[in-house]
A and B are shown apart, each in its own frame.
Chain A
Amino acid sequence: MDVKKVDHLAKRIIQVMVGIVAVLLVLIIGYILVTGLPQESIDFLFKPSQAVKAGGGIRDQLWNSIYLLILALLISIPLSLGAGIYLAEYAPDNKLTHFIQTLIEILSSLPSIVVGLFGYLVLVIRFNMGFSILSGALTLTVFNLPLLTSNIENALRSVSDEQREGGLALGLSRWQTIKGILLPRTVPEIITGVVLSSGRIFGEAAALIYTSGQSAPALNYLNWNPLSPESPLNVMRPAETLAVHIWKLNTEGLTIDADIVSAAASAVLILVVLLFNILAHYLGNKLERKLTGGK
């Protein structure tokens, strides 16, 4: 075959592969939305779930998922920023650094159920935190840290050394160069990393079953005292998330309309992740424009 034909064939094969991926995605998302959305009503989002009776909502689960996500990000973003900056900018190129990087890689491929059981044994039992939002958030941090750290490390490494030298040559300190010149440049990549990990966190069930627990005590949304057990802000209460709720409905759910509720809840899960994606990119672009003057 001549070069032109081979080239043409290669392009066709690649197109078919892309097509398969795209079709699969559309089918999955489409199926979830088509089966889930018709069951949906605004009401569904704002009423509490039912253990046995039909007609339960997902109010508390949805809130728990969002609250856990926010807490997990609040803990893991600063930590991974520090770790990522250290690994990319300060760490000497030696065995210890490579060892740490290998550990991070291993940690990031740990099955989430293992992370969940680790959280159960250490946080829930040993540290006596019980099934709680805090246990869940810390477990999610373990789960999230390696990914975010390597995301930030790679983002910084991708900035050319000329930028670092440019900053240093102006008499800026190393830290000032990192903070003022390198980090603003990496904002889009870091945002993408945060969005991806948020999607994972939001949809995570296995790591939370044994840490934040499987029960959702009814919350009183007028109670803003974080120490009260019925307050949505309380971090020491057990909290079933949306993903755990879906899992539970399908495995041991006693609810009569489990199928309908779980289909609807799945659709909500996907929509929230999508919404979060769009929002994060919008904010990321705005932030980038503010920091860099756009392009």
Chain B
Amino acid sequence: MKDYNIVTPKEEIRISTKDLSVKYGDKLALHPTTLAFPRHQITALIGASGSGKSTYLRSLNRMNDKIATVEGQILFENVDVNQPKINVFELRKHIGMVFQRPNPFAKTIYENIAYAPRYHGIKDKRQLDEIVEKSLRQAALWNEVKDDLNKSALALSGGQQQRLCIARAIAMKPSILLLDEPASALDPISTGVLEETLVELKKNYTMIMVTHNMQQATRVSDYTAFFQLGKVYEYDKTVNVFTNPQVKLTQDYVEGRFG
């Protein structure tokens, strides 16, 4: 077997990193990592806790600024966005993020979605209404909440809150959606709904998703990257990673021998 197996997808690449490394103080949390993510596909980042997968994900929209030292390149639309002169607030409009635990704002369902677009300059009520409806439809939440748009988002169930967070992220019309273990706080039924939603969203968005759940990775993702102790050992089509891994470590992990 090989030491590393990292492929470059044949599809059009939407975002990629070149030798991206992350340090917390002196501690190297992520070794230089080079990965390319195909357009309108879901890539799963798997690995044990502390393997660096969330650290990597959070670096892509610069959420690690001020927390860690991130070196190397993040290539997005032919620009290295890991530079101090890049406007991160603008960047994050294009690279949305959904977090591990649903974090709706203490606002109405409508305001949760409309707040950021309005801040970014869309003041027209009709246009905002349209964004809210469209985002909720895409996140498969519209039918459940269309009569309650002025109720507090905190009254929704966990699964609904997480789909609201997805709606909130896609309301910004990002081209990339980062998902940090989006289903880890949800029950199996909500998880199922969420996964269906993600597969549906693939038509319009390039997604990168950290997950601890290997079944989930096989169910929804097209590509999978396996992280271990701050390094990527294997990156290939999901079906290859799970049925025919080229690296011993990956094989042990996907067969459940550690992790």
Contacts and interface: CB of A to CB of B under 8 A. Distances in A.
A28 to B, nearest CB: 37
A82 interface: no
Interface stretch (A72-80, A94-102, A177-185, A265-273): A177-185
A168 B92 contact: yes
A160 B103 contact: yes
A165 to B, nearest CB: 6
B139 to A, nearest CB: 15
Given A165-B99, A293-B151, A172 B105 contact: no
B14 interface: no
Contacts of A291: 106-107
A170 B116 contact: yes
A171 B107 contact: no
Interface string B143-166: 000000011111100000000010
A180 B152 CA distance: 15
B132 interface: no
A189 to B, nearest CB: 12
A165 B106 contact: no
A141 to B, nearest CB: 30
B115 A184 contact: no
A170 B118 CA distance: 11
B90 interface: yes
A68 B57 CA distance: 54
Q: For this complex, into which size category does the number of interface residues on chain A fall?
A: 20 to 34
Interface string B174-198: 0000000000000000000000000
Contacts of B104: 166
Nearest to A295: B152
Interface in B70-122: 89-93, 96-97, 99, 101, 103-109, 111, 115-116, 119-120
Interface in A132-148: none
A292 B92 contact: no
A169 B63 contact: yes
B61 A169 contact: yes
A200 B7 CA distance: 68
Contact of A166 (B93, B105, B109, B111): B105
A53 to B, nearest CB: 57
Contacts of A180: 115, 119
B223 to A, nearest CB: 23
B107 A293 contact: yes
17 contacts: A162-B99, A163-B103, A166-B165, A169-B63, A169-B97, A170-B96, A171-B90, A171-B91, A171-B92, A171-B120, A173-B89, A181-B105, A291-B107, A292-B107, A292-B152, A293-B150, A295-B154
**Shortest Cβ-Cβ A-B pairs, 8 listed:** A293-B108, A170-B116, A162-B103, A169-B97, A171-B92, A293-B152, A292-B106, A171-B93
Interface of A: 160, 162-163, 165-173, 176, 180-181, 184-185, 291-295
